[in-house]
């Protein structure tokens, strides 16, 4: 049985990068406390704007922004649903007005994915 993954692509204003990272650390802590197996936030490093599609194009990234690719993993979709219900009830996840968020939630892309192939390097 494979893992279940929630994936996110988020536009983050460069001037709010520190606030976003602070929020991501808190969110990761909350997800893990409520049972997620892993929580990862990755900031753009080599994400050029493609001619047809790309991470920057997917979120209509502005020159004043960067993009984050993030995910959380779970044992199954049922496990994800249980964790997410707890996360959404956690008072630490209550955010103020969306205009005050350190990212543009209206352009965030997210979804749940069932693992189809999962390979890992064996420990030697």
* pTM higher than 0.85: yes
pLDDT in tens, 76-90: 999 999 999 999 999
Q: How many CB atoms lie within 10 A of CB 121?
A: 5
| Number of helical (H) and strand (E) elements in the chain, helices listed first | 3, 4
For the stretch 58-76, pLDDT in tens is: 888 899 999 999 999 999 9
The domain ranges of the chain are: 4-46+75-114
């Amino acid at each position: 049985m494979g893992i279940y993954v929630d994936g996110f692509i988020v536009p983050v204003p460069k001037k709010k990068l520190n606030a976003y990272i602070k929020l991501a650390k808190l969110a990761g802590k909350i997800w893990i406390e409520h049972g997620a197996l892993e929580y990862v936030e990755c900031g753009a490093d080599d994400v050029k704007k493609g001619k047809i599609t790309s991470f920057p194009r997917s979120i209509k990234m502005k020159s004043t922004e960067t993009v984050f690719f993030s995910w959380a993993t779970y044992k199954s979709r049922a496990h994800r649903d249980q964790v997410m219900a707890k996360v959404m009830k956690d008072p630490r996840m209550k955010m103020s007005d969306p205009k005050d968020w350190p990212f543009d939630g209206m352009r965030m892309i997210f979804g749940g994915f069932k693992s189809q192939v999962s390979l890992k390097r064996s420990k030697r």
